[in-house]
């Protein structure tokens, strides 16, 4: 008996059934790519934003998103702020909230993974012209966790 046959109790016969194991992980995840490649940035898949002295909606559909951004300011105003927030229609929560002291300089890099449920919106805002929240956002998976392939990718 071969070592690989341990536990079968008999020698391999022509009548035995051999069941191959097929790895369907990528297919069952909804992607043909490994997760790190499926989350790659693509030209058609990203949305650029710049919230300078205004508010920009980054996403409002349920799902998982990645945000790469910076908050920068050189402000003579002590009340300057840059924020990324999620709103459910009744209230807002601020996972990123930066404010400036008078004559402050700041450059803050952000790399966020965000889940939006139905009815939620993710936005960026700044309250003056010397403060900017700018970057890119793209959806990496739907609300059920099915991975999105990069826009334009075709599997052969």
CATH number at 115 reads: 2.60.120.1010
Q: Is residue 104 part of a domain?
A: yes
**Is 90 exceeded by the pLDDT of residue 110?**
yes
Own/partner long-range contacts of 85-92 (Cβ < 8 Å, ≥24 apart): 85/122, 85/123, 85/124, 85/125, 86/114, 86/116, 86/120, 86/121, 86/122, 86/123, 87/120, 87/121, 87/123, 88/117, 88/119, 88/120, 89/119, 89/120
Q: Is residue 54 part of a domain?
A: yes
Taking the model in full, what pTM does it have?
Answer: 0.74
Query: CA–CA separation, 112 vs 96, rounded Å?
Result: 9
Query: CA–CA separation, 114 vs 78, rounded Å?
Result: 29
Q: Is residue 82 part of a domain?
A: yes
Mean pLDDT of the region 46-67? 96
Nearest CA-CA partner of 88 in 58, 138, 122: 122
pLDDT category at 20 given cuts 50, 70, 90 is: low
Q: Is residue 152 part of a domain?
A: no
pLDDT category at 34 given cuts 50, 70, 90 is: confident
Q: Is residue 15 part of a domain?
A: no
Count of structural domains, the chain: 1
The predicted structure's pLDDT at residue 16: 60
pLDDT of 69-79, one tens digit each?
999 988 777 77
What residues make up the domain containing 115? Answer: 45-144
Q: Is residue 88 part of a domain?
A: yes
Query: CA–CA separation, 152 vs 156, rounded Å?
Result: 13
Query: CA–CA separation, 100 vs 14, rounded Å?
Result: 77
**Any idea what DSSP says for residue 104?**
E
The percent of residues in the chain predicted with pLDDT above 90, rounded, is 45
Q: Is residue 85 part of a domain?
A: yes
Mean pLDDT of the region 40-59? 93
Q: Is residue 95 part of a domain?
A: yes
């Amino acid at each position: 008996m071969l070592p690989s046959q341990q536990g079968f109790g008999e020698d391999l016969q022509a009548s035995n059934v051999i069941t191959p194991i097929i790895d369907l992980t990528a297919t069952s995840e909804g992607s043909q790519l490994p997760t790190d490649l499926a989350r790659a940035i693509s030209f058609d898949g990203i949305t650029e934003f710049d919230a300078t002295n205004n508010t920009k909606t980054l996403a409002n559909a349920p799902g998982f998103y990645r945000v790469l951004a910076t908050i920068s300011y050189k402000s003579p105003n002590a009340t300057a702020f840059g924020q990324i927030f999620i709103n459910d229609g009744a209230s807002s929560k601020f996972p990123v909230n930066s404010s400036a002291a008078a004559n402050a300089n700041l450059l803050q890099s952000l790399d966020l993974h965000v889940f939006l449920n139905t009815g939620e919106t993710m936005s960026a805002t700044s309250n003056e012209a010397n403060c900017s929240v700018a970057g890119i956002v793209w959806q990496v998976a739907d609300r059920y966790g099915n991975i999105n392939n990069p826009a334009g990718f075709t599997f052969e």
